[in-house]
Amino acid sequence: MSEHLRKPPWLTVRARHSQDYEAVEAMLGRLKLHTVCHEANCPNRHECYGSRTATFMILGRVCTRNCTFCDVEKGNTSPPDPLEPGHVAEAVEELGLEYVVVTSVTRDDLPDGGAGQFAEVIRAIKARNASVSVEVLIPDFRGDEEALRRVLAAEPDVLNHNVETVPRLYPEVRPMASFRRSLGLLASVKTFAPGMRTKSGLMVGLGETRDEVFFVMEELRRADCDYLTIGQYLAPTKNHHPVVEYVTPETFDYYRDQGGALGFRAVSSGPFVRSSYHAAEMDTGTS
């Protein structure tokens, strides 16, 4: 169980407040915006805010799924905010971002799963500055291909969808999701928008084996996924899925090398790696 595992020294991170951190927090509050950095209690939040960047989380802060790894609030949702696309675009402009990541809670209560809001946000950002690159980290839309097409029609630069864990652990970790459905979504992107760059992410330390990690990598490559992120799972509270293992930095390096050998354009693998962490560097090949 996670309470019997002590965090190793490589997972020590020092939270540093700065003027830029405070400025980003204030701006998000003023524009009534949410970030996955805050809502999911990401360990990289101080670094990212301090660098005047953030991963915007649209469609509210309440999720309709019951994943056991996630710290995002569950419960009653609210209708999409029609002002949200403009506010996100304003925040991107104010921060001077050239590359932005937009994600969301899962909204199974909406007919299109929130695809329309994603499309409006992409268009609003690019209307202010067409040179900004937009990566969207989307839910599975319950396998709705029309919803996926709606997002792709807005022409994001990278389409990201996380498989999160290995198939065997889905009943425990993602009980309302399907590994095959997630793979199918990534494969469909290449069918509907052949030039679109795709990306997925995987957490380790949940009880998976190395062979299972390799299997997921191979399946993602079969779906022609371009980019892969692999990071250490950290249980938000004792009520979440326990940490079974703290994966060593050497193992993360091994996974990165194996992913490269399989043909991913880029693999970011390390204890603090998260799906949107240094996303711009990964997409431009400067990581």
pLDDT for residue 72: 84
pLDDT digits (tens, 9 = 90+) for 63-104: 999 998 887 888 889 999 999 999 999 999 998 889 999 999
> For residue 284, is pLDDT > 50?
yes
> For residue 258, is pLDDT > 80?
yes
> What DSSP string describes 137-166?
E---GGG-HHHHHHHHHT--SEEE---BS-
Q: How far apart are CA 260 and CA 273, in angstroms?
A: 16
> For residue 40, is pLDDT > 90?
no
Tell which wins on pLDDT, 122 or 53.
122
Q: How far apart are CA 136 and CA 60, in angstroms?
A: 16
- Which of the listed ranges 16-30, 58-72, 118-132, 228-242 does the model predict with the highest average pLDDT? 118-132
Q: How far apart are CA 72 and CA 189, in angstroms?
A: 27
pLDDT digits (tens, 9 = 90+) for 113-157: 999 999 999 999 999 999 999 999 999 999 999 999 999 999 999
Q: What is the pTM (predicted TM-score) of this model?
A: 0.91
pLDDT for residue 73: 85
User: Which domains, and CATH codes, for the chain?
Assistant: 2-284 (3.20.20.70)
